[in-house]
Amino acid sequence: MTCQELERLLYPYLDGEFQPEERVDLESHLATCAACQGRVEDERNMQLALRRAARDSVRQMRAPDSLRAGITRGLHQEHRRAQYGVWLRAGAVALVVVTVTGGWYTYQAGERQRRAREEIIKRHSRGLPFEIASSAPEQLETWFKGKVDARVALPQLPKAKPLGGRISILNGREVAYISYETLPDEGEPTRRLGVFVLPDEDGARPQALPAVEVDSAQGFNIVTWRDHEVVYEMVTDMDERDILRMLDEREHGTTVASTPRTLESADGNYSYQTLPRPQRSRPAVSAEPASYP
Ligand SMILES: [Zn+2]
């Protein structure tokens, strides 16, 4: 695909009107062309900004109604109309601004999170070809060196082996993506999981290990954790119990999970912590070559 062809397909692509096969073409061009990557991100940001502005203006249009109602009420109740009206107006404006702004920030944070989640799922489920196929963690780590911002240390995931990796894009930034498959017990299906490794500089720091956050959307679970300055986003269709068991085994080296733990749920968001804190013999996420069965 050339830059011109991409330009022509830009809008259908952004609108999600593409078949998976068509995407492969376009995305593999994107993976190698910084100019087109910039173009796609600019256009995407522009669309988001427009949508945001449209929603924002709807909110702002509502504010004057309540303002007017309040002022009108005030005017009817108060003899010293002119003076009171002025003060009421000032008070009402301040109140409305605070309310709209507060709501807007919360809304934006939620939106950002939702968009990030969608992007992670989309990038994972497309199943684009690997740029490096390898089951050796150290080989994958070496390959990513210098290609992405984060220091890429593969997480140790027991009962899963890496298949390969590629550069992916999250939030307009090139990040490492590593695909794994599980090594299931007899009779259990093999599952795929993807891990994005990104630098922790978005301000939205997830909690550090051993805490992990589990979020779900569209039939996928997304597990986020931070280890020092590196953020991991793991996406999989494994169910939550199995994920937590896997992470629990990682926490305890080779111990099989019958360890007590808390699992708190609030609106589908879970925070998870192993109890009691064990003396770890090695870091949970390690740059040293891991051995996989
Ligand atoms: Zn191009």
| DSSP of 177-190 | EEEEEE-PPTTPPP
**How many whole angstroms from 30 Cα to the centroid of ligand 1?**
7
Q: How far apart are CA 145 and CA 238, in angstroms?
A: 29
**Nearest of 130, 123, 166 to residue 147 by alpha carbon:** 166
Q: How far apart are CA 174 and CA 176, in angstroms?
A: 7
**How many whole angstroms from 141 Cα to the centroid of ligand 1?**
27
**How many whole angstroms from 26 Cα to the centroid of ligand 1?**
9
**How many whole angstroms from 5 Cα to the centroid of ligand 1?**
9
256 pLDDT more than 50: no
**How many whole angstroms from 25 Cα to the centroid of ligand 1?**
12
Residue 91 and residue 29 share a domain: yes
**Residue 136 confidence (pLDDT):** 92
Q: Is the peptide bond before 210 cis (omega within 30 degrees of 0)?
A: yes
**How many whole angstroms from 42 Cα to the centroid of ligand 1?**
14
Query: For 244-254, how does the pLDDT look when each residue is reduced to its tens digit (9 = 90+)?
Result: 777 776 655 43
127 pLDDT more than 60: yes
The amino acid at residue 293 is: P
Please list the residues that pair with 269 across neighbouring strands: 266
Residue 144 and residue 112 share a domain: no
Reported as half-sphere exposure (CB side, CA atoms, 13 A), residue 266 has a value of: 4
The amino acid at residue 146 is: G
**Residue 109 confidence (pLDDT):** 66
For residue 286, is it within any domain?
A: no
**How many whole angstroms from 179 Cα to the centroid of ligand 1?**
26
Residue 87 and residue 104 share a domain: yes
For residue 49, is it within any domain?
A: yes
**How many whole angstroms from 101 Cα to the centroid of ligand 1?**
39
Residue 269 and residue 140 share a domain: yes
Instruction: Answer yes or no: are the C-beta atoms of 285 and 157 closer than 8 Å.
Output: no
For residue 218, is it within any domain?
A: yes
Q: How far apart are CA 221 and CA 213, in angstroms?
A: 10
- In terms of residue numbers, what domain contains 144? 132-274
**How many whole angstroms from 151 Cα to the centroid of ligand 1?**
27
For the packed helices 20-32 and 34-77, what is the interaxial angle rounded to 10 degrees? Answer: 100
**How many whole angstroms from 119 Cα to the centroid of ligand 1?**
21
**How many whole angstroms from 222 Cα to the centroid of ligand 1?**
31
Q: Is 21 or 268 the better-scoring residue by pLDDT?
A: 21
Instruction: Answer yes or no: are the C-beta atoms of 217 and 118 closer than 8 Å.
Output: yes
What is the rounded average pLDDT of the residues 198-225?
78
CA-only gyration radius of the chain, Å: 25
**How many whole angstroms from 257 Cα to the centroid of ligand 1?**
49
- Number of domains, the chain: 2
For residue 287, is it within any domain?
A: no
Q: What is the mean pLDDT of the chain?
A: 71
**How many whole angstroms from 3 Cα to the centroid of ligand 1?**
4
**How many whole angstroms from 106 Cα to the centroid of ligand 1?**
36
Q: How far apart are CA 99 and CA 247, in angstroms?
A: 41
Residue 195 and residue 70 share a domain: no
Q: Is 89 or 191 the better-scoring residue by pLDDT?
A: 191
For the packed helices 20-32 and 3-14, what is the interaxial angle rounded to 10 degrees? Answer: 130
Query: For 62-100, how does the pLDDT look when each residue is reduced to its tens digit (9 = 90+)?
Result: 545 555 555 445 444 444 434 434 444 444 444 444 444
CA 120 to each of CA 33, 115, 183, 251, 259: distance values in angstroms, whole numbers, following the listed order: 21, 9, 23, 24, 30
